[in-house]
Structures are given as C-alpha cells and as structure tokens.
Structure 1
C-alpha cells in the first residue's frame, strides 16, 4: 500500500490551514482509502468506519489552523484515527452492556431497528451527564469488569466511596431515563442491579 502522494504534502497542509478546499480534497482523496482499511480492521464495520472517517476529516477541516503545529501529518492522522476508532469501540461496548442486561430483564422490549438506536442514544445521554467521578467508577465496573475493591485500589479511594459513586451513577442514569422514556421502569430495574457487582 503506497503512502506516496503526488504533491508536496507540506505545501498541501499549509494551503489547508489557509482554507484551500482543493488542497483538502487532494489530502482527503489520498488518505481516505488508506484510513478506511486501517480503521475497518479495528471496528470491523464498514458503516461505522465511514462514520468515523467523516468525523475525522470534518474535525481536521474545522481545526485546520492547528495543522501548522503538526510536524508530520501522516503519523498525526494515524494516531487520530486509532484514537477515534478505539473510542467508538468503547462507546459501543458501554452501550451494549446496558442493552444486553436490559434484554435479559425485559424481553418484551424490541431491541431492533429505530427503537434500539433510540435506546442507545438515550443511554449515551444518560451516561454523559454523569459527574466525572461517577462516570469513571461506573465505566471501570461495568465496562472494564473491575470489582469495586479493585476500583478503590486503582483510584486510591475508599471502598465505601466507590459504592457511593456507583449508587449515584445508577440513580442519575435511572432518573434521566425515567424522565424521558416510557421504558423507564424496566431500565430502572436493570440499573438497580448494576451497583451490586462486588
């Protein structure tokens, strides 16, 4: 896979920082297929890969003035792409943990199609609104599968504090979902079990 670009890349990047759309198009057309292959190996989903690439190139264009501080564009682009892909995978895993638990506890729910996307979106919103300390503890417990004692040791905080943060996270997520969904009761039943993990 050749990484050669038929133009002076430094010159193209300089033109992009000044808002040159033609230079941006050249960079986009060159790197898009290379990055597609790279990212798709990580996420293993063509639609998700396309979405990630759109976000990456949009971010590059919107923050183009910052490119003047990038010494080597290609490594910068690869690191950015890997970071974005891994974040996407973590977010998906986080959402799936809740939906998997939910489907076990409330099998009457239809986990497919638009309803599932709506549920995922609502869950994301609920988790993102958590205070940082609650979100961190909740993620370590539910996504990283760490026991509460391990979380306490890792973060250097007392076990009762971990338990308190988990209870706060569960309560806030449940309240958020309850206020926005007729499925609130079912979700609350599932969430009530989250902080019971030892």
Structure 2
C-alpha cells in the first residue's frame, strides 16, 4: 500500500477538520489494515480488534477539528490505537477474572463473539457501579476476599460491606436486565450471584 505523502496527508487532515467525509474515508482506508494487524497482535481477538478500531476512528472523527494542528498523524494514530489496545487488554483480563468466578456452564452458549459481548455487558455494569460498591464487589468476586476481610481492609463495618454488595448486585442485575434478553439476564444473574462469599 503506497504511503500518503506528508503534504497530501496535511491537506486531508485539514479537509477532515472541516467535515469532509471523503477525506476521512481516504485516511480510514489507508490506515485501517495497518492498524488492524498491529492491534490484533495485541488483543488476539477479532471482535475486540474491530471494536478498538471503531472506537479509534470514531474518536478521530468526533475530534476532527483538532486534526489541522496534528503534525505527524501516523504517530498520533498509533499512540491512540496502542492506548485503546492496552485498555482492551486490561478489560479482557478483568473479564477473564469475572469469567473464572462463574460456574463452568454459566456463559458457554454461542460463539466467541457472543461470549465476549456477554462478558462486556457484565464488565460495563461493573464499571458503572458507584466507586465503593465496585471496590467491594471486585475485592469479593475477583480478589476472592471474604466480606469480613474486606471490612478490615477498607476500615468499614461488616454490615456496610454487605450493604455495598447488595447494592452492587442490584445495580448489575438491573443493567443486565436492561441490556439483554430475559433468558441471558436470568442465567447471568443466577450464576453470578448464587453464592455469597
């Protein structure tokens, strides 16, 4: 694939900054295959790679006014893509930790992309929890700490830990119900919260 010459790229970026979708398509078509290969080496998951690339190019389009001030677009793009890929790896690690808390038959239906969506749904719900609930839930379900240990570690009472766990369960349950089919919601909720630790 021939490289875009710096002077051509600068003109394309100015056109994109002005809202030119055709100029954006040229940049997209040029960099997408290169970034796909790079990011897929990091994530090793096709669906995650596609999602990262969509996020990267969406952010570029949404912040297009700033592009006319970017001197080295390829560097700018690679740094942004790398940042998104590393965030994705952290999220995948968290999802794997969540998955390990579930019984083996909890999330086994569907293909890899379906399972990733299911885990993404849970991860999204956890990220939206209030900080104290998220911390307690993570310490209990991911770090495998008992509620009494969490109370000591955080310097709060055991009833407060229990209250935060109940609040986390309620909020995650509501999010899953709102975002998925009833069958999937029931399956996730039953398996995720069936055993109190």
Partner of 2:68: 68
Partner secondary structure for residue 66 of structure 2: helix
Matched, 1:13 2:10: no
Q: Secondary structure at the match of 1:130?
A: coil
Question: 1:124-182: per-residue Cα shift (whole Å, max 9, x none)?
Answer: 45324311343355456655x496879x97xxx53659946455434532465578745
Which stretches in structure 1 are left out of the alignment for 5+ residues? none
Q: Distance in 1 between matches of 2:161 and 2:107?
A: 32
Select which of 177, 187, 190 maps to 2:189: 187
Gap regions ≥5 residues in structure 2: none
Query: CA separation in 1, counterparts of 2:66 and 2:39?
Result: 23
Q: Distance in 2 between matches of 1:111 and 1:66?
A: 44
Asked whether the equivalents of residues 94 and 142 of structure 1 are also in contact (C-alpha less than 8 Å), the reply is no
What's the counterpart of residue 48 of structure 1? 48
Residue 43 (structure 1) shift: 0.3
Give the Å deviation of 1:72.
3.3
Across the aligned residues of Structure 1 and Structure 2, the Cα RMSD in angstroms comes to 3.9
Quote the residue 1:111 is aligned against: 108
Q: Name the TM-score, length of structure 2 as normaliser.
A: 0.68
3-state SS in 1 of match to 2:67 = helix
Q: Secondary structure at the match of 1:5?
A: coil
Q: Do the aligned partners of residues 169 and 71 (structure 1) sit closer, same or farther apart at CA in structure 2, a change above 3 Å counting? A: farther
Q: CA deviation at 1:92?
A: 3.0
1:184 to 1:47, Cα distance in 2 relative to 1, 3 A = closer
Distance 2:94 2:131 in 1: 16
Q: Distance in 1 between matches of 2:59 and 2:122?
A: 25
CA distance in 2, matches of 1:193, 1:79: 42
Kindly report which structure 2 residues correspond to 1:119-198, keeping only aligned pairs within 5 A, or say none.
119-120=118-119, 122-136=121-135, 138-139=137-138, 145=143, 158=155, 160=157, 163=161, 165-166=164-165, 168-174=167-173, 176-177=175-176, 181-182=182-183, 184=186, 187-188=189-190, 190-191=192-193, 193=195, 196=197
Asked if structure 2 preserves the Cα contact closer than 8 Å seen for 1:103 and 1:111, the reply is no
